[in-house]
Chains A and B, each alone.
Chain A
């Protein structure tokens, strides 16, 4: 369970990135819902916290893949693999994230770097 930020500090339509490895982002939708997903796009190295949040979807800032915040599924290419979703809850005004135990779908460039290959 990781503390993210205070709810009052995350306005609707904004995202907060947790600098853990791999990074995770919490999104506060315009409807007031909170979601946490892996921050790195599964296509290439882009931060989804920098993306275009609309409804329950975030569009990657680079090549416009769309991810469903509820399920992590890819709603629009070029990405093909989903991002992981994480549990979010608020306690005493603080947003917490409980990380998924599934393996992340990191993009090839990052997976190669982690494996010690050429980036």
Chain B
């Protein structure tokens, strides 16, 4: 198992559940035991929960695994099959699960300036939480989910918050433009400024950031800057291994890679999605939790079991006390209708359709109805 986070842990659990009783080695470059990332931009950042609450393993869990933490994989060899570590060690294996996730994208020129943050790891969240506690003006670069959640948390902590987004509408990729603009209207409801359609030219400051410079010439004063411009899959270490990589590790519908005995799961993996008819890298918690079951089954049987059709991708986001839930594929839709609630009340249930058939559903504070639609979606399109 390379990567000791949600996908790696889930794969380790699946292996044991599916009866594998051999040696199990989990390699992770962070020093921490597996922890939960979603709260890092929400309750943990707000100070509502502590580090112990983030643990993904119950106290009494024992997977009989060897944990090599603080160890970084540098390469993958096939004959014999092994993972090479940066410290020169080599771990031989009959099967390998690639679960190295993704890391936050950065902007050129942000290195070396204090007050500028990305948010991916527990260490990132600790540093940002400490800075937010001091208050001031926060500029969030990027109006995606992580940027929006940081803005929401910081706003509740009393900071003065501005979000800048290069696209005309935030969240247009995952939610489509119509619903993206309804969801991102939450910012204005809470007094957070949202500037769209303008790119960032750079950051200003000597040792500490003092402003964000916009391409239209504006300068936004800032005490703290959070860069939330997406994540890139951590697959550089696989260069030269022969494994197919495009946007992440290219996998079949059951996580099998182009190399025998090697599967990939979680944010680093781009599985073939039979519903969408293409490969898709899904960066959601539920995918990293569920798909390892199928990948481990494939690893143990190698090709003898037929891959099932996974449930449509699902994710949630919490912003300004509103529970946002989404399942399916907005990009496949040719129409979207609000079936329940009203955009102005921020409690919509919207259904995305293609040629009249539901392909995605979005809920804002509609967990009950959302679940009904999500089930229907899973049943319909399988």
Contact = CB atoms under 8 A, between A and B. Distances in A.
Interface of A: 46-47, 50-52, 61-64, 74, 76-78, 80, 108-109, 118
Q: Which 4 A-B pairs have the closest CB atoms?
A: A50-B368, A61-B367, A61-B371, A80-B58
A64 B56 contact: no
B370 interface: yes
17 contacts: A46-B367, A50-B367, A50-B371, A52-B371, A61-B367, A62-B323, A63-B285, A63-B286, A64-B286, A64-B290, A64-B314, A76-B289, A77-B289, A78-B56, A80-B58, A108-B49, A118-B48
B162 to A, nearest CB: 26
Contacts of A74: 58
Interface string B365-382: 001101100110000000
A61 B289 contact: no
B33 to A, nearest CB: 13
B272 interface: no
> Among the interface residues A51, A76, A78, which one has the most CB atoms of the partner chain B within 10 A?
A78
Nearest to A119: B48
Contacts of B237: none
B302 interface: no
A95 B382 CA distance: 36
A62 B53 contact: no
Nearest to B370: A61
Contact of B375 (A52, A62, A108, A109): A52
Contact of A63 (B49, B53, B316, B375): B316
A47 B368 CA distance: 9
B90 interface: no
A29 to B, nearest CB: 15
A29 B323 CA distance: 27
A74 B325 CA distance: 22
A47 B314 CA distance: 18
A15 to B, nearest CB: 10
Given A50-B367, A78-B36, 14 more contacts: A46-B367, A61-B368, A61-B370, A61-B371, A62-B316, A62-B325, A63-B38, A63-B316, A64-B289, A64-B290, A74-B58, A77-B289, A109-B43, A109-B48
Contacts of A46: 367
A74 B57 CA distance: 12
Contacts of A52: 371, 374-375
A82 to B, nearest CB: 10
Contacts of A61: 367-368, 370-371
Contacts of A78: 36, 56
B269 to A, nearest CB: 19
Interface string B283-298: 0011001100000000
The interface centre, meaning the residue of A50, A52, A77, A78 with most chain B CB atoms within 10 A of its CB, is: A77
A108 B43 CA distance: 11
A117 to B, nearest CB: 10
Nearest to B293: A76
Nearest to B323: A62
Nearest to B375: A52
Nearest to B34: A77
Residue among A52, A61, A74 having the largest count of chain B Cβ atoms under 10 Å: A61
